[in-house]
Structure 1
């Protein structure tokens, strides 16, 4: 895409791969062979000069698939990075790759990239019990409870969650005798409300007490 041309794979098997320009009259060609017991390939012959016409070169954007963009953008979303917003992707892709994409493709690219870099939300709920068990193991006296239900298909579904860290339990007796409860709407794929109970310590600072996830 960066070099403004499209190629096709003429031959591909366990021993070799041949890539040619999409224009059959163009001489661009790469011939490579696989190394035994290795994922590496060795280029045997190569012709990098293009002789194709403008109409053939204009097809370079065909390979601009959501999967390709996702692989290129994973580094921008890895390690907790905020990443690029879907509305910003079309402009970024146009400036870097000279490809025009729709907002729908940009949105799908972001979703696919986030799932590959961070895991999807289903996996997050799947590991929730494991995470809380590890928290309890490293922070004795931590309390948590997960409520689930079973749907008509026999699948276990997440319903409610409550947890309080041992440090909050230990510090509760030193707080002012006022508890504030607040909630915020969860904006992910699975809706809900994250609620939190907080107090105030002797230095007038907010002291978190307990957390819960409920429907509303």
Structure 2
């Protein structure tokens, strides 16, 4: 894992050591080594609040191009997954094992030229039915070209019939309609799942892959079905067809919903967990029930919190694994700092079982020589997955 700091809302300046930013980081988080460029962009939109429907983003990484012992920071444009993976690989291969990725982000408003992938540019022929709240979407075989990125031979995405209608009245974030765009497959899944949870209906996944997503109503008597596919370059997903309307019962008892998985809940509670790390599963149940009028099980709430913590702060095991390179970096940056470990051996000679660690910064060691020969120890209980206690030793000088 490695940390990422995101800078936005300011401008790049040139200082004594090269490129710098005139504002502090807008957001920071710990990323997994296999993070893709698309997932990175999605995360940046979430953390910065930049509207991805109205803007694209331009990314530049602050890279140290200096030789050993010197710093000369330059801007490295990150425009695709190849450049991003190169940056990650270089970051993870640093000698001290502890580096940070600094990203300078600019929001670029989308234009409405024909090549732009925006919802307003999806050209769908429509005819108005007698019901003014619905528009039926129809495409004749010899009239319409496939939607952007659509393969002509893909039968699933070719023709819509008069029976394939969807409500165009709202066109808000909670509505599903033909032509709606998403940044990724995960975004499509969450949107479809959320729609059905709110409607108190159930769905099953027929097919889910890197370029295709097909779901249908769980009720065999209901003909509702949705098909979404990726664009030509795989950089977005789009709803291609929605067949039929739900005719199944949507009566709910307010209890758990089969499509409300722990992973789905974890994205709902990110802000809650970030603000209140000790939120209980009961609080999470109440939070979700207020949003969707259905109450997830205690186990789902518990698992969702664990996933949210992993998403925000990284996995517990990976965090403990970072202790060694982190303290090594401290010793490199602060010569004279003392570190002492307690650990047990395991059957794997390359793995040790962590018991504890203590360290003292070099300035504190030097300063203690002028303090009273007494120390006070304060402790706090660690409430994480592995528990334990954190101790802090405090010394007093002549002035107390």
TM range (shorter): 0.7 to 0.9
Q: SS of the counterpart of 2:257?
A: helix
Contact 2:288–2:295 (8 Å) recurs in 1: yes
Contact 2:217–2:224 (8 Å) recurs in 1: yes
CA 1:3–1:83: 2 relative to 1, 3 Å: farther
* Aligned twin of 2:355: 159
* Aligned twin of 2:389: 193
* Aligned twin of 1:214: none
- C-alpha RMSD over aligned residues: 3.1
Give the Å deviation of 1:93: 1.0
Contact 1:182–1:196 (8 Å) recurs in 2: yes
Q: Take 1:82 and 1:2, find their aligned partners in 2: how far apart are those partners? A: 27
Q: Which runs of 5+ in 2 are unaligned?
A: 1-196
* Aligned twin of 1:144: 339
Q: Take 1:13 and 1:175, find their aligned partners in 2: how far apart are those partners? A: 65
TM-score by length of 2: 0.44
- 1:32-47 paired onto structure 2 within 5 Å: 32-46=228-242
* Aligned twin of 1:98: 293
- 1:192-211 paired onto structure 2 within 5 Å: 192-204=388-400
TM-score by length of 1: 0.76
Q: Take 1:67 and 1:81, find their aligned partners in 2: how far apart are those partners? A: 19
Q: Take 1:59 and 1:160, find their aligned partners in 2: how far apart are those partners? A: 43
Per-residue CA deviation, residues 41-60 of structure 1 (Å, 9 max, x unaligned), is: 23233357432224699998
CA 1:31–1:108: 2 relative to 1, 3 Å: closer
Per-residue CA deviation, residues 123-169 of structure 1 (Å, 9 max, x unaligned), is: 12211111101111222221112232213455411133120012212
Contact 2:270–2:312 (8 Å) recurs in 1: yes
Q: Which one has a larger percent helix, Structure 1 or Structure 2?
A: 1
Q: SS of the counterpart of 2:386?
A: coil
Contact 1:176–1:201 (8 Å) recurs in 2: yes
Q: Take 2:323 and 2:279, find their aligned partners in 1: how far apart are those partners? A: 27
- 1:19-168 paired onto structure 2 within 5 Å: 19-46=215-242, 49-54=245-250, 61-78=257-274, 82=277, 84-152=279-347, 154=349, 155-168=351-364
Give the Å deviation of 1:96: 0.5
Aligned length: 203
Between 55-64 and 21-30, the greater mean CA deviation after superposition:
55-64
Give the Å deviation of 1:199: 1.2
Higher relative contact order (CA 8 A, sep 6+): 1
